[in-house]
Amino acid sequence: MVRLAVFDCDGTLIDSQVNILRAVAACFERHRLAVPEPHAIRRIVGLSLFEAMATLHPEGDSALHASLAADYKTAFQRLRADRNLDPEPLYPGVAEGLAALAARGWLLGVATGKSDRGLALALAHHDIARHFVTLQTADRHPSKPHPAMLRAALAEAGAKADQAVIIGDTVFDIGMGVAAGVRAIGVDWGYHDGEELRDAGATAVVADMAALLEALA
């Protein structure tokens, strides 16, 4: 029987908070705009960049939001290339958990607001790309919680909605699962708290990778 587990990336697999905060600050400062508070920035993680910038600066027009998104990409790439800055680590237990699921016969995928390039670099850096049979990004789909990414992952993996689960740390991930008719599990180590994830439709919220493996047993 096919079983597919689709993971969000930022806030679920990879702790990219520091670089996200720095990149948002850089792009807002470049446009001489007040930098949003860290809490506000953490709330938009998981959205595609254009939607994220529109949420952070609703007074702006679409041209400004597009420019902010482009400048964010540039800033983030520079931060990733700077060897003097902290890398974006995997959350504890992620590498081992992915390997365990693959050994159990699960097909694995990613659905993320990152670009194709950004996701490829992140997975390669941590040597985990080999685990995934389907990779869906904001380059080819509407922003979460639209279900397009998850539906494409199902199609590529040859799985039905009732054979899959989406795992993420934000209400955008959970909402995508609900919209696609896919069971959603929240993780409480990311950017939205467990109560929010349950209210959005998560069937469970786990505290660590060991608990996730148990939930998927």
Average pLDDT over residues 119-145: 94
- Residue 75, token pair as written in the block: 């800033």
Q: In angstroms, what CA-CA distances link 153 with 28, 61, 150, 163?
A: 34, 32, 5, 12
Average pLDDT over residues 98-125: 95
Q: Which of 99-108, 121-130, 148-157 has the lowest mean pLDDT?
A: 121-130
215 alpha-carbon distance from chain centroid:
20
Q: Would you say 13 and 91 are in contact if contact means Cβ atoms under 8 Å apart? A: yes
Closest CA to 188 of 176, 179, 175, 198: 198
Q: What is the pLDDT of residues 87-104, one digit of tens each?
A: 689 999 999 999 999 999
Q: What are phi and psi of 140, to 5 degrees?
A: -120, 5
Whole-model pTM: value is 0.86
The predicted structure's pLDDT at residue 83: 64
The predicted structure's pLDDT at residue 8: 98
d(Cα 98, Cα 5) in Å, to the nearest integer? 10
Q: Which of 93-107, 114-128, 140-154, 200-214 has the lowest mean pLDDT?
A: 114-128
Which domains are seen in the chain, by residue range? Answer: 4-15+89-215 (3.40.50.1000), 17-81 (1.10.150)
